[in-house]
């Protein structure tokens, strides 16, 4: 029963880690994309002001 | 030699071709036709797609749309069909397309042999100042000298050909001195006068002056300023020679460089050595198990695959072979011999008996697994970084067939 | 919280519950039928994992074919999601099968077992596809090559089946418990069903999250490329 519990828990931890990695990667990408979009918007507004 | 030109014949026809490289569509809706006696120069800034067009014309790149024809044969189409070119193709890629272990003159003879004829390459070597290097390895040449050899390997098949040939040259002037560019221009005019079709990417005005047509990607083909008149093809008698196949070339390279020993044989010798270090254990095994152990060193030899796949990545040598004859170099019959030797060695060392069936089976096993793994290795050649892919992960797929083979044999 | 992530959490909780029920609530199998009755509890994980792997490999096949024949971006994302999910579930199915095999047969691997061999080879293929793809820049060459391997995986299954059948005919496999091992009672069925549903929800959630992740990566890459071009 012990090896069974170890095998079970090992797999549970493994899929938890895998899921955590996917969610974290997704969050980091979201943040990076938002930062890039903010920078782009900032650049466009600055250009508009200079033009005006 | 010139060909009767009663009617112009299409040598190359690109019809509404679309090619993607990486995430970009480099060519879209590209159509181009080259007939006998035409020299088409590709013009455009860097990154316009000249090299992509040349490589697509040589049949090296898959097309997403349209088709590419050499004479009457479709060599590539958008449904993935490929056929070898019926023409004699002279090809100089942006990389030199040669392995360092090739000998200069041998390389030129090899290029010419593709159409079954050759000419005396002495005058060409002389004009390029390479006569004294004729018997040297490519690896011993300077970059400029190696480039000259690559250019000659693209031109000479057309000079030797008895029928109109297609010559595809990607920046042949790059790295050449002034005198060599002059000589090259003369040869290009001569080839056009002979009735061959040429497709050249260049930025050099002296080479552009040889063109009958100028093509800018995304535009219609334009007739160029009149090329030099009164160019006469010199008499260069050609004589028939035996064709050097990718297999014959592969065996020659294997024997010259001993890459089979470095990659394959060492794995077999180590496996045999490890088995021998276990002492006399064969007596306790049944027949199938004994056979499995006797053939294990042979399997180890073959599982290492085709070392030529890695070796011909040098300067894109494999692509040059695919462009001129449709196949990459391979070890041909060599695995049969290596398998035979290892089966003999293993049988003698492990079971102290010699059985012709086992030796023959070992030889066949080595041949089929060697070429099977070679096929897996080649399937990744199109990738940007083929060396970063672990083809070895796929080899366990051979375990079951090996078990069945041993089982059927016992 | 996004759709995929919600399904992931739900599926994960279901898997955790299955684990608890399998260890603490599900009844034991007949001692006579199995060499190692306790090890049989791993089936509550093994069978649903194999089922989820089957879904993922199916997605890998459909995605590969969709990319090769339709050039669909969505299908490529399905290929990526299917290969990653197939790798994870395939590893779980093979690993749990090995644990059970060691306890029941005395050997972790049986070359006569079609399912074990199919899953083993498909999982290796998934490792190859995932590692290989991650080593390459994204592009049509990379996609074509690995989509072709995705299709090759599907051919592998019947080939493995034929090979193992011939092998089994020539060398009868180990005798696996006889008697009533085929029957499962109500509680066992309930735990298995919960496991199968949880794993399905989990793997679908994973594939949705993974497809979104690939889409984000592609968007980021195109934004960066535009900046390269615009600089």
The residue ranking higher by pLDDT, C37 or B35, is B35
Q: What is the pLDDT at residue C166?
A: 75
CA distance A1 to chain C (A): 6
Q: What is the pLDDT at residue C28?
A: 66
Q: Which two tokens stand for residue B159?
A: 């000079």
Q: Does the distance separating the beta carbons of C213 and A4 come in below 8 Å?
A: no
Residues of chain C with Cβ-Cβ distance to A4 below 8 Å are 23, 38-39, 41-42, 99
Q: What's the pLDDT tens digit per position in B330-348?
A: 999 999 999 999 999 999 9
Q: What is the pLDDT at residue B158?
A: 95
C210 touches chain A (CB under 8 A): yes
Residues of chain C with Cβ-Cβ distance to A18 below 8 Å are 88
Residues of chain B with Cβ-Cβ distance to C228 below 8 Å are none
Residues of chain A with Cβ-Cβ distance to C52 below 8 Å are none
Touching B: C residues 95-114, CB under 8 Å: 111
Q: What's the pLDDT tens digit per position in B143-169?
A: 999 999 999 999 999 999 989 999 999
- Check: CB of residue B93 under 8 Å from CB of residue B146: no
Q: What is the pLDDT at residue C231?
A: 41
Q: Which two tokens stand for residue B30?
A: 């590209």
C144 touches chain B (CB under 8 A): yes
Q: Does the distance separating the beta carbons of C111 and B23 come in below 8 Å?
A: no
User: Which residues pair with residue B236 across a beta bridge?
Assistant: none
Cβ count near B23 (within 10 Å): 15
Least confident of A17-31, B220-234, C144-158: B220-234
Across the interface, of A4, A14, A16, the residue whose CB is closest to C41 is A4
Q: What is the mean pLDDT of each run of 10 residues along chain C (231 residues)?
A: 79 85 70 61 83 91 93 94 92 86 80 77 91 90 92 80 71 47 65 88 91 90 76 41
| Touching chains A and C? (3+ Cβ pairs < 8 A) | yes
Average pLDDT, stretch B12-41? Answer: 91
Nearest alpha-carbon partner for B377 in B309, B314, B331: B309
User: Which residues pair with residue B27 across a beta bridge?
Assistant: B19
Residues of chain A with Cβ-Cβ distance to C96 below 8 Å are 7, 11
**Per DSSP, which regions of A1-52 are E strands?**
none
Average pLDDT, stretch B373-396? Answer: 88
Helix, strand, coil distribution of chain C in percent, nearest 5: 80, 0, 20
pLDDT tier at A52, thresholds 50, 70, 90: very low
Q: Token pair 């189409």 is at which residue?
A: B77
CA distances from B165 to B42, B114, B343 (A): 19, 11, 47
**Arithmetic mean of pLDDT over chain B:** 90
Q: What's the pLDDT tens digit per position in B49-82?
A: 899 999 999 999 999 999 999 999 999 998 888 8
Q: Does the distance separating the beta carbons of C213 and A15 come in below 8 Å?
A: no
For the cut 80, the answer to whether the pLDDT of residue A21 exceeds it is yes
User: Which residues pair with residue C95 across a beta bridge?
Assistant: none
Across the interface, of B64, B382, B393, the residue whose CB is closest to C128 is B393
pLDDT tier at A47, thresholds 50, 70, 90: low
Touching C: B residues 39-78, CB under 8 Å: 62, 64
B404 touches chain C (CB under 8 A): yes
Average pLDDT, stretch B246-259? Answer: 96
pLDDT tier at B7, thresholds 50, 70, 90: low
Burial of B343: CB neighbours in 10 Å, binned 0-12, 13-18, 19+: buried
Residues of chain A with Cβ-Cβ distance to C8 below 8 Å are 19, 22-23
Least confident of A7-11, B254-258, C51-55: A7-11
For the cut 90, the answer to whether the pLDDT of residue B396 exceeds it is no
Q: What is the pLDDT at residue C171?
A: 56
Mutate to test the interface with C, among A10, A13, A15 (most CBs of C within 10 A): A15
For the cut 50, the answer to whether the pLDDT of residue B388 exceeds it is yes
CA distances from B325 to B79, B83, B113 (A): 21, 10, 11
Nearby residues of C87 by Cβ (< 8 Å), 6 or more positions away: C123, C126, C127, C129, C130
pLDDT tier at A26, thresholds 50, 70, 90: confident
ipTM of the complex: 0.77
User: Alpha helix (H) ranges present in B130-177?
Assistant: 143-160
Residues of chain C with Cβ-Cβ distance to B387 below 8 Å are none
| B269 backbone dihedrals φ, ψ, rounded to 5° | -65, -40
Interface residues of A toward C, Cβ cutoff 8 Å, are 1, 3-5, 7-8, 11-12, 14-16, 18-19, 22-23, 25-26, 29-30, 32-33, 36
Helix (H, G, I), strand (E, B) or coil at C225: helix
CA angle B298, B338, B361 (to 5 degrees): 55
Report helix angle B104-113 to B143-160, nearest 10: 30
Q: What is the pLDDT at residue B152?
A: 97
pTM of the model: 0.84
Q: What is the pLDDT at residue C180?
A: 47
Report the 3 state secondary structure along B206-255.
Answer: HHHCCCCEEEECCCCCEECCCCCCCCCCCCCCCEECCCCCHHHHHHHHHH
pLDDT tier at B221, thresholds 50, 70, 90: low
**Is the torsion defined by CA of B137, B140, B145, B148 positive or negative?**
positive
Q: Does the distance separating the beta carbons of C216 and A29 come in below 8 Å?
A: yes
For the cut 60, the answer to whether the pLDDT of residue B382 exceeds it is yes
Across the interface, of A1, A3, A16, the residue whose CB is closest to C12 is A16
Residues of chain C with Cβ-Cβ distance to B388 below 8 Å are 132, 135-136
């Amino acid at each position: 029963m012990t090896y069974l519990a170890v095998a079970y828990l090992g797999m549970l931890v493994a899929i938890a880690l895998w899921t955590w990695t996917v969610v974290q990667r997704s969050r980091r990408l979201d943040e990076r994309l938002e930062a890039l979009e903010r920078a782009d918007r900032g650049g466009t507004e600055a250009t508009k002001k200079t033009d005006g | 030699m010139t060909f009767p030109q009663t009617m112009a014949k299409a040598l190359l026809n690109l019809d509404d071709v679309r090619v993607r490289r990486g995430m970009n569509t480099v060519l879209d809706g590209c159509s181009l036709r080259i007939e006998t006696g035409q020299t088409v120069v590709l013009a455009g800034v860097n990154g316009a797609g000249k090299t992509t067009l040349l490589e697509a014309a040589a049949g090296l790149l898959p097309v997403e749309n349209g088709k590419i024809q050499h004479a009457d044969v479709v060599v590539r189409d958008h449904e993935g069909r490929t056929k070898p070119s019926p023409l004699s193709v002279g090809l100089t890629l942006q990389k030199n397309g040669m392995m360092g272990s090739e000998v200069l003159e041998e390389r030129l003879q090899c290029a010419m042999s593709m159409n079954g004829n050759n000419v005396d390459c002495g005058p060409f070597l002389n004009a390029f100042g390479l006569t004294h290097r004729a018997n040297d390895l490519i690896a011993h040449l300077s970059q400029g000298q190696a480039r000259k050899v690559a250019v000659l390997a693209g031109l000479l098949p057309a000079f030797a050909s008895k029928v109109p040939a297609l010559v595809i040259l990607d920046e042949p002037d790059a790295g050449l001195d002034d005198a060599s560019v002059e000589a090259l221009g003369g040869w290009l005019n001569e080839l056009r006068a002979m009735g061959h079709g040429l497709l050249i990417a260049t930025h050099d005005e002296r080479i552009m002056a040889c063109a009958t047509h100028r093509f800018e990607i995304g535009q219609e083909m334009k007739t160029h300023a009149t090329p030099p008149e009164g160019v006469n093809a010199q008499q260069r008698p050609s004589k028939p020679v035996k064709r050097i196949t990718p297999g014959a070339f592969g065996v020659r390279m294997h024997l010259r460089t001993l890459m089979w020993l470095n990659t394959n044989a060492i794995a077999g010798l180590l496996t045999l050595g490890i088995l021998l270090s276990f002492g006399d254990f064969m007596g306790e095994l049944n027949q199938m198990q004994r056979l499995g152990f006797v053939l294990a060193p042979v399997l180890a030899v073959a599982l290492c695959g085709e070392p030529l796949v890695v070796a011909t990545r040098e300067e894109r040598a494999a692509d040059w072979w695919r462009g001129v004859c449709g196949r990459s170099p391979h070890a041909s019959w060599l695995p049969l011999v290596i398998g035979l030797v290892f089966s003999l060695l293993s049988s003698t060392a492990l079971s102290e008996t010699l059985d012709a069936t086992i030796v023959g089976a070992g030889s066949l096993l080595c041949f089929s697994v060697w070429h099977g793994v070679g096929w897996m290795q080649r399937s990744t050649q199109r990738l940007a970084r083929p060396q970063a892919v672990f083809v070895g992960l796929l080899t366990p797929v051979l375990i079951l067939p090996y078990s069945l083979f041993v089982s059927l044999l016992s | 919280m996004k759709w995929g992530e919600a399904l992931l959490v739900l599926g994960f909780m279901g898997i955790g519950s299955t684990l608890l029920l399998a260890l603490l609530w599900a009844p034991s199998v007949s001692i006579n039928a199995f060499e190692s009755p306790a090890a049989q509890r791993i089936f509550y994980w093994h069978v649903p994992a194999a089922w989820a792997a089957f879904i993922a490999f199916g997605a890998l096949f459909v995605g590969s074919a969709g990319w090769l024949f339709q050039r669909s971006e969505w299908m490529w994302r399905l290929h990526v999601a299917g290969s990653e999910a197939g790798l994870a579930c395939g590893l779980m199915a093979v690993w749990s099968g090995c644990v059970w095999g060691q306890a029941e047969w005395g050997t972790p691997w049986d070359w006569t077992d079609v399912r074990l061999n199919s899953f083993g080879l498909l999982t290796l293929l998934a490792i190859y596809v995932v590692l290989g793809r991650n080593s390459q820049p994204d592009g049509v060459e990379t996609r074509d090559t690995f989509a072709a391997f995705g299709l090759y995986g599907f051919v592998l299954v019947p080939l493995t089946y034929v090979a193992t059948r011939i092998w089994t005919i020539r060398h009868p496999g180990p005798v696996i418990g006889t008697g009533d091992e085929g029957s499962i009672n109500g509680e066992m069925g309930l735990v298995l069903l919960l496991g199968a549903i949880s794993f399905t929800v989990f793997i679908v959630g994973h594939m949705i999250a993974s497809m979104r992740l690939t889409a984000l990566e592609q968007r980021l890459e195109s934004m960066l490329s535009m900046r390269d071009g615009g600089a």
